[in-house]
Structure 1
């Protein structure tokens, strides 16, 4: 069933935490590069940018000053026309307490939270619940990252137990993270949407490898939102190497429009979040 009553949000994840210029010469790393990428991707149809920052040695870092520099640079370039979502990804370097501290110091508009990182054991549940309550009080929108369909059951349990202080929380289904060679396929979405699994009012999809466009297009047709970008893939649908993140956004945007879907602007996405 094609969902046409609400616009589809296109997010761009332009850099990730592990890639270097050797992976793609146009990989944006610093504030100026990310601001330029935000402008290009906005023009191509994206309404949210998911950013990682690096230290002076090029390593992934969670750093409030670095995040604020990027947020400020993007704001100077395009105002509030694009939502800036920071990552809290640990990449094995940070504890949940350190992740929380950086988010509280940065105070972004939106942040992604990997469920398995923030709640590695049952003992972490109270702190996670308290942090989600703080985010709600500060009007910071969390997006919970789910790497497999079983994690939807965990999150649903937390919601039923009152650990999640929202009726609904945005989620991101990650397709193919633990498959061979991290190559995703549209069928990887089916376990997340199985009738035996809980449903989420606002869900997005990202995918690895050259079938990224096929995966996210399938998700959009089923009512989801989409994330593309160099973090997970650097190839166009025809297997050519993309020149930029904006080229990946433009390709998916064209496909969605050609299928009768509407693209969300930042204001549409903010409104959708407020209704959750």
Structure 2
């Protein structure tokens, strides 16, 4: 039996997200060159994964594959393969499921995050979603399914159980809180996910899990996840404050404080090679 402390923790950086603007956060990386510099700094601080968003000319959220390719090329030039690059398929009220899946088919990224409630909601075309999942499996894409609430876990388990998502277990991301003004997530929020019957009674469905959180207590939430055997996604997408309430000068400072916590909890920090293995699904 492998103890949790023997499995290094993945620290994924989410450097910009879809909503924050440089006018509000001067150190927010947006351009490919800025993202590449941030990737290099976060790698040095302990990150093994970068969760990538790109923006349009007005600074808005975009799933444009050309913009993704440009950003990925810049990041690869800066860090090589020393970071796993996970793109987002997030809708942000702009993109429907078809557009999200079309982006993934066109880009063929090494990894992608997919919100179950966005790409496979109740009443969706499950045959199309099954075909999309089969495509990801054949293309070697690593999906991480995003769950915003315990009911999303039930939906995810149903899709796997009926073979719509082909496989036995996948990496999951638990989102603690919502995109609301002044949102501050709490480590207690994690319990709602870990206590669901699916997680307790069907552990094989969760090959590994990660959390993301909002606000000043992001690091506290991350440490709770690390202590319980999970992994953490950290960065300006959801939080720009250090644990003392001051503004972080960059995403690397958030990664650095998390890395120190990981080591204090008795776990090692995963590198990109291990992150790629851990985030590969059990197709």
Tell me the residue number matched to 1:209: 215
CA displacement at 1:135 relative to structure 2: 0.4
TM-score (norm 1): 0.96
Partner of residue 91, structure 1: 92
Which structure 1 segments of 5+ residues have no match? none
1:151: which partner in 2? 152
- Aligned mate of 1:249, from 231, 238, 255: 255
Q: Secondary structure at the match of 2:4?
A: coil
C-alpha deviation, 1:274, in angstroms: 4.0
Structure 1 position 80, deviation (Å): 0.3
- 1:227 is aligned, of 200, 209, 233, to 233
Q: CA deviation at 1:230?
A: 0.2
Alpha-carbon distance in structure 2 between the residues aligned to 1:242 and 1:267: 28
Structure-2 separation of matches of 1:132 and 1:79: 28
In the alignment, what sits opposite 2:21? 20
| Structure 2: tracts of 5 or more residues without a match | none
TM-fit CA distance, 1:126: 2.0
Number of aligned positions between the proteins: 275
Match of 1:218 in 2: 224
1:49-198 aligned within 5 A: 49-177=50-178, 181-194=182-195, 196-198=197-199
Report the CA distance between 1:180 and its aligned residue: 7.8
Give the CA RMSD over aligned residues: 1.5
> Does the Cα contact within 8 Å between 2:54 and 2:68 map onto a contact in 1?
yes
CA contact (8 A) 1:149 1:197 kept: no
Partner residue of 1:266?
A: 272
Cα deviation, residue 275, structure 1: 6.8
Asked if the contact 2:144–2:279 (Cα under 8 Å) also holds between the matched residues in 1, the reply is no
User: Residue by residue, what CA displacement relative to the aligned partner does 1:240-273 show, whole Å, maximum 9, x if unpaired?
Assistant: 1101000000010111112211100000111223
Q: CA deviation at 1:197?
A: 3.2
Q: Aligned with 1:123: secondary structure?
A: coil
Higher mean alpha-carbon deviation, 148-157 vs 121-130, is at: 121-130
**Does the 8 A contact of 2:207 with 2:281 survive in 1?**
no
Equivalent pair of 1:185/1:215 in contact (CA under 8 Å): yes
How far residue 195 of structure 1 moved from its aligned partner, in angstroms, is 5.3
Cα distance in structure 2, aligned partners of 1:181 and 1:24: 15
1:63 & 1:50 partners in 2: Cα distance? 16
Superposition deviation, residue 67 in structure 1: 0.2
Separation in structure 2 between the aligned mates of residue 275 and residue 105 of structure 1, nearest angstrom: 21
- Asked if the contact 2:32–2:75 (Cα under 8 Å) also holds between the matched residues in 1, the reply is yes
1:118 and 1:124 in contact (8 A); partners too:
no
